Amino acid sequence: MKETLRSVTDPHQPIEATMPNNKDVGIGIIGSGFIVNDCHLPAYNKAGFKTLGLASRNQEKALQVAKRHQIPYTYPTVEALLEDERIQVLDIAVPPNAQLEMIRKAVTKKHLQGILAQKPLGMNLDEACEAVSLCEQAGIALAVNQNMRYDPSVRAAKNLLDAGKLGAPVLTTLDMRAIPHWMPWQKDLGWVTLRIMSIHHLDCFRYWFGDPLNIYCSVCPDPRTPFEHQDGICSYILEYASGLRCVGIDDTWTGPAREGCPADIGIQWRIEGSQGLAIGDIGWCQDPYTTPSRLRYASIGDHDFHQPQWDQSWFPDAFAGTMAQLLVGLEGGQSPEISGRDNLKTMALVEAAYRSCEEKRAISLSEMLPLS
């Protein structure tokens, strides 16, 4: 049996990400920005993974990050990192418009066994399909960093659903009232929330309930974001064959919180079932930054809410789960839990959301992804 971080016999505890038996697999990272410096590497070090080297277009920043996290090697170019045969797994943490080119280069290296790519998997669904195809043809396992699946409250909710504590799901909502850290490259790409934040929430709904039939989405600009865009504030409804409805609200304005108004910032989710209710609060954009997520739930017959507690948070702890699943897949010769092929359905939902906004109608997943 694989090593796990905590027993899952208690249904209100998180389903802990399975950890590999062998943590001595050499990892190379492309990128040295916030997500690497403050999320990937702290989580990898805590989990005991072996990060060998780092390459970045900003050499000074790469050296600083390597020194902070005690990474033994930095490389002058991405090509130099890719030539190092000690690196078996590649962690690509670059903007989406640069990601596919990195994958094209990586799949030519016979010593590489796996790639962990950032979300979104490229600029659009076509690029994501190409990335998946390239890796499959090269025999390289591709995983996508949909790390919200590994937030402890999200994992605990999945455990409750699987254990039947909530009964049949009836209505689920996920309400983000937060001001994300937008990246400079988003100004050049001209899109804001759907591909950056909503993609997490759409993937979370898929993780909990499987694939929906349809999505209906409406967006408007965020008045605080100065560059031209459409998808600043997003709302969407996912329709399931069972009758379940999942509703997401991604509000990056949250009132004039930065302009002097008292703020009420956070991400809350709520699952209402035929037999119970679960309410979660994801500890992100809080103070301190790594505040653990919270959960309370009750089933028919309970006298009060159960309120389990844990020390883990979404940032940075969840990032150990995504890399772990790639390593576990390689170890067992299986597809990672967050495989690139599975992620095509999440990418398809994002593309469907954009089409829904344009055409002002519900879009079916099958319209976007006529794949097996």
Which of 281, 257, 277 shows the shortest CA–CA distance to 267?
Answer: 281
For residues 343 and 144, is the Cβ–Cβ distance under 8 A? Answer: yes
Alpha carbons 312 and 219: distance in angstroms, whole number: 33
Residue 365, sorted as left (phi over 0), alpha (psi -120 to 50) or beta, turns out to be alpha
Q: Dump pLDDT digits (tens) for 340-369.
A: 999 999 999 999 999 999 999 999 999 998
pLDDT number for residue 2: 34
For residues 265 and 179, is the Cβ–Cβ distance under 8 A? Answer: yes
Alpha carbons 50 and 69: distance in angstroms, whole number: 11
Bridge partners of residue 3, in order along the sequence = 19
CATH ID of 26-147+319-339, from 3.40.50.720, 3.40.50.1970, 3.40.50.2000, 3.40.50.620 = 3.40.50.720
pLDDT number for residue 169: 98
Q: Is the pLDDT of residue 292 over 60?
A: yes
Alpha carbons 300 and 298: distance in angstroms, whole number: 7
Please indicate whether residue 287 or residue 90 has the higher confidence score (pLDDT).
90
Alpha carbons 205 and 148: distance in angstroms, whole number: 11
pLDDT number for residue 285: 74
- Model confidence at 370, in pLDDT bands (50, 70, 90)? low
Which of 154, 346, 172, 146 shows the shortest CA–CA distance to 248?
Answer: 172
Q: Dump pLDDT digits (tens) for 187-244.
A: 888 889 999 999 999 999 999 999 999 999 999 999 999 889 999 999 999 999 999 9
Domain boundaries, the chain: 26-147+319-339, 152-313+347-364
Alpha carbons 290 and 312: distance in angstroms, whole number: 8
Alpha carbons 339 and 53: distance in angstroms, whole number: 24
The model carries a pTM of: 0.94
For residues 62 and 56, is the Cβ–Cβ distance under 8 A? Answer: yes
Q: Dump pLDDT digits (tens) for 5-60.
A: 333 347 777 777 789 999 999 999 999 999 999 999 999 999 999 999 999 999 89
Please, where are the H alpha helices in the chain?
34, 41-47, 59-69, 78-83, 96-106, 125-138, 152-162, 185-189, 199-209, 318-332, 340-359, 365-368
152-313+347-364 placed in CATH 3.30.465.10: no
Alpha carbons 100 and 89: distance in angstroms, whole number: 16
For residues 246 and 214, is the Cβ–Cβ distance under 8 A? Answer: no
